[in-house]
Amino acid sequence: MFDLTTRDIKYLSGVGPRRASVLNKELGIYSLHDLLYYFPYKYVDRSRIYYIHEIDGTMPYIQLKGEVLGFETVGEGRQRRLIAHFSDGTGVVDLVWFQGIKYLVGKYKIHREYIVFGKPSVFNGRINIAHPDIDEVSEMKLSSIGLQPYYNTTEKMKRAFLNSHAIEKMMGTVVEQLNEPLPETLSPSILVEHHLMPLSEALVNIHFPANPDALRKAQYRLKFEELFYVQLNILRYARERQQRYRGYIFEKVGDVFNTFYAKNLPFSLTGAQKRVLKEIRKDVGSGKQMNRLLQGDVGSGKTLVALMSMLIALDNGFQACMMAPTEILANQHYGTICELLYGMNIRVELLTGSVKGKKRENILSDLQSGAVKILIGTHAVIEDTVSFSSLGLVVIDEQHRFGVAQRARLWTKNVQPPHVLVMTATPIPRTLAMTLYGDLDVSVIDELPPGRKPVTTIHQYDNRRESLYRSVHKQVEEGRQIYIVYPLIKESEKIDLKNLEEGYLHVCEEFPECKVCKVHGKMKTAEKDEQMRLFVSGEAQIMVATTVIEVGVNVPNASVMIIENAERFGLSQLHQLRGRVGRGADQSYCILVTSYKLAEETRKRLEIMVRTNDGFEIAEADLKLRGPGDLEGTQQSGVAFDLKIADLSRDGQLLQHVRRIAESIIDNDPTGILPDNEILWRQLKALRKTNVNWASIS
C-alpha cells in the first residue's frame, strides 16, 4: 500500500507540475491525502434525466440527455454569444455561452449524445441554459448513478481549467487507486460503539456517495472525527497542564474582602454574581490552578466579581492584576476600582503604554517590593520588564484578543502560574466557547442587576429623520442625554471622519438649545477627556462620537442612542454600543438608522437587534449569519478554524457529544497506555504536527 501523505499531487494523471502548483497555492493541496480531504461543498442529484417538454424556467438545476442540432453565434461585442440548439426529441432548448466560444465550437460535435446539466431560464420566450456542464454519455460513469459532488474553486484555478468537474475527475482517479483500505484513524471501540462508517468507506462516499444514506453516514463519521480531535487536543492539553502545575491555595476570605463587603459594596450582589464568586472561591481553594472564563452580558456586573476575586488574593498575601485590551478600558477599570476601594488603603496602580519615566519606574519597583497590591493595565503588564513580588491572580477582560499562547506567558510571572480569570464582554456561543476556550471552565452571569429596564430598539430609515429628531427634542426637554454614533472603519477613516464632522454640524444646527460634544479616536487625549467630562457632568446633552464610546463611558442619565449607518456595524458591536444606554432608571431607546436599500443579511441583523436584548441570543445569531471564521476576534484567538467539514453553527450537538466522549477517554486512560486508545494518541500527535494552530498550544 502506498502512503497517500507523501504522494505528490503532481504525479496524479491529468495534473502535472503547472496545475499542481495552482493546487498548492490556491488550496494548500500537496499530496493525494490533501486532495482526498478536500470535500465537496454540495451535491446535486443527477439520478434523474428530464425530458425537455417537462421543463420550464422555474426549475432548479436539472439534466437532459440529447444532441446538438446546430450552433449559431449572435450579438456583437459584450453581447456576443454562442447558442447551441439542443434536442432530445421532445423539444428544443438553447444552450448559451458568453465566453470561450472558439474552444467550445471545436469541442462539442453535432449529433453526438451528451448529458447537459444546468439551470433553465426563459429568455425572449425560449427556454435556455447558460454555461451548462456537458459530458459525453459514456463519461458519466461514477456520478450518473446519483449525487454529483461540487467543489469550491477559485478564479486562478478556473484559468488553469481546474473547475469543479476537473477536481471530481482527479478525485475519481485517486479513489480508483485505493485498492486497500486506508489506515483507520479512530479506535475500534469508538467505531463500534458509535456506529461510525470506517474511514476509507467514508472518504469514498463523501466524494461519490452511493446513495443519500451513505452520504449522511460518511458526513457524520468525518465530522465526528474532526470535532473529536479538536476536543481531545484541548482536553489533553488542559489535563497535562493540571498535572504539571499546582495552583496557589487561597485558604481564607479575610479582612480585605470582608471590609469591602460590609462597608464599601454599594449594593447587594445579584444571585448570579454570588454563584460565580462561589465557583471561583472553590477553584482557588482547591490546589489546582484556576483557568476560568466568566461570561456575562453587557452590564451584568463582571467587574465587581473580578474585583472581589482579587480581594481574596490580597487576603492570602498575593497581588492581583487586571488586563484590558485598550487604554480607555484600562483607565475606566482603574477609575471604577479606585472608587469602589475608596478609604480601604489598598495601593492600586495603572500601567499602560503612556505611563512613562519616573512614574513607571516607581510602579515597577513597588510592584517588586509588594507595595502595589493591584495592578491594572493593558498588555503592558505582561512585558518582561514587569515583575511582581507574588502575583496570585490575573483577570483578563475581553478574552478574544488574548489567545492561549499569550495566556501561557502569564505563568512565568511567578514560581507557580497564577490563577486566571477571563472575562468576555461579548458573550460567545457555547459551541464556539468549547472550541475556542475548551481548556477553560466556564461561569455565566445570567442575571442583570435589579431595576434595569430593557432597552427598546427601533430600526428607522434615514428619510424619517424629522420625526426622529422630534422625539430627541422631547427627551432633551425631560433632562435626558443622547448619544449619536457614527461608524469608523479603518479603510475609510477620512470619509468617516468627514461624516462625523458633518453630522456634528448638522446636529448643532438641529438642536440649538443643546450643548453638543464630540469624541473620536483621532483626538488628543486631553481634548477627548474634556469632551467626555462635558457629557459625564451633564453640561452637554448630546454626544456625537465614533465607536470609541463602545467601552469608554458610563452615563446613567443617557437614555437614547442613535446609531447612524447602522448597517455598517457588526451585531456584537451594535450590542456593545447599546449597552451604553439603559444604565439608569429611565426607559432607554436605541435607534438604528439606515438607508432604505439594505442587503438581506443586514436586514436580518437589524431585526435581531430589534427583537432581543439578550447577548447570548445575539451571539448565536451572529454565528449562524456569518459563520465562525468571521466572528470578531476569532482569527487571533490562536485556535484552529480551518474545520474542513464540521460547522460550529450547525453541529453544536455533535460537538457536545464528542466532547463527552473525549472526556471519558481521558478520564479512563489519563496516562495514555490503554492499547485500544493507542491509535488516538498517534493520530493526535500527527495532527499537532501538521496543524499550525494546534501546535501553538501544545
Distances (CA, A) of 222 to 28, 187, 202, 229, 556: 20, 14, 7, 11, 51
Going by C-alpha positions, the residue among 348, 330, 334, 276 that lies closest to residue 308 is 276
Q: Give the single-character DSSP code of 248.
A: P
Q: Residue 130, interface with ligand ADP (CB under 6 A)?
A: no
Mark the segment that binds ligand ADP (CB under 6 A) among 196-204, 294-302, 430-438, 633-641.
Answer: 294-302
The amino acid occupying position 214 is A
Nearest-approach distance from CB 583 to ligand ADP, in angstroms = 6
Q: Give the residue, chosen from 299, 392, 628, 652, that forms a contact with ligand ADP under the rule CB under 6 A.
A: 299
Q: Give the residue, chosen from 46, 65, 302, 480, that forms a contact with ligand ADP under the rule CB under 6 A.
A: 302
Nearer to ligand ADP, 83 or 269 (CB): 269
Q: Residue 338, interface with ligand ADP (CB under 6 A)?
A: no
Nearer to ligand ADP, 301 or 403 (CB): 301
**Which parts of 448-487 interact with ligand ADP (CB under 6 A)?**
449
Mark the segment that binds ligand ADP (CB under 6 A) among 195-203, 302-310, 346-354, 640-648.
Answer: 302-310
Nearer to ligand ADP, 7 or 400 (CB): 400
Using CB under 6 A as the binding criterion, the count of chain residues that bind ligand ADP stands at 15
Residue tagged 478609604 (cell numbers): 343
Q: Where are the beta strands (DSSP E) in 415-521?
A: 419-424, 441-445, 456-461, 481-485, 516-519
What's the rounded Cα separation, in Å, for the pair 458 and 593?
A: 9
**Which parts of 538-577 interact with ligand ADP (CB under 6 A)?**
554
Residue tagged 450537538 (cell numbers): 653
Tell me the residue number closest to ligand ADP, measured at CB. 301
What's the rounded Cα separation, in Å, for the pair 428 and 618?
A: 9
Binding mask 417-446 for ligand ADP (x = CB under 6 A): --------x---------------------
All three cell numbers of 357, joined, read 519615566
Going by C-alpha positions, the residue among 172, 171, 195 that lies closest to residue 35 is 171
Residue tagged 452615563 (cell numbers): 555
Nearest-approach distance from CB 559 to ligand ADP, in angstroms = 15
Q: Give the residue, chosen from 116, 203, 290, 304, that forms a contact with ligand ADP under the rule CB under 6 A.
A: 304
CB 291 within 8 A of CB 441: yes
3 state SS of 394: strand
Residue tagged 458568453 (cell numbers): 98
Nearer to ligand ADP, 227 or 532 (CB): 532
Nearest-approach distance from CB 340 to ligand ADP, in angstroms = 8
Mark the segment that binds ligand ADP (CB under 6 A) among 122-130, 242-250, 262-270, 592-600.
Answer: 262-270
Q: Give the residue, chosen from 128, 164, 233, 273, that forms a contact with ligand ADP under the rule CB under 6 A.
A: 273
Q: Residue 303, interface with ligand ADP (CB under 6 A)?
A: yes
Distances (CA, A) of 281 to 247, 268, 343: 13, 18, 25
Q: Give the residue, chosen from 49, 101, 238, 269, that forms a contact with ligand ADP under the rule CB under 6 A.
A: 269
Nearer to ligand ADP, 303 or 559 (CB): 303
Q: Where are the beta strands (DSSP E) in 137-196?
A: 147-150
Q: Residue 613, interface with ligand ADP (CB under 6 A)?
A: no
Biggest CA pair distance of the chain: 95
Q: Give the residue, chosen from 270, 559, 573, 677, that forms a contact with ligand ADP under the rule CB under 6 A.
A: 270
Q: Residue 301, interface with ligand ADP (CB under 6 A)?
A: yes
| Beta-ladder partners of 97 | 82
| Beta-ladder partners of 657 | none
Q: Residue 531, interface with ligand ADP (CB under 6 A)?
A: no
Going by C-alpha positions, the residue among 565, 630, 562 that lies closest to residue 597 is 565
Mark the segment that binds ligand ADP (CB under 6 A) among 154-162, 296-304, 402-410, 628-636.
Answer: 296-304
Q: Residue 166, interface with ligand ADP (CB under 6 A)?
A: no
What's the rounded Cα separation, in Å, for the pair 231 and 183?
A: 22
Nearer to ligand ADP, 296 or 633 (CB): 296
Nearer to ligand ADP, 143 or 303 (CB): 303
Distance of CA 585 to the CA centre of its chain: 34
CA angle 192, 196, 199 (to 5 degrees): 110
Q: Give the residue, chosen from 146, 296, 615, 633, that forms a contact with ligand ADP under the rule CB under 6 A.
A: 296
> Which spans of this chain sit near ligand ADP (rule: CB under 6 A)?
267, 269-270, 273, 296, 298-304, 425, 449, 554
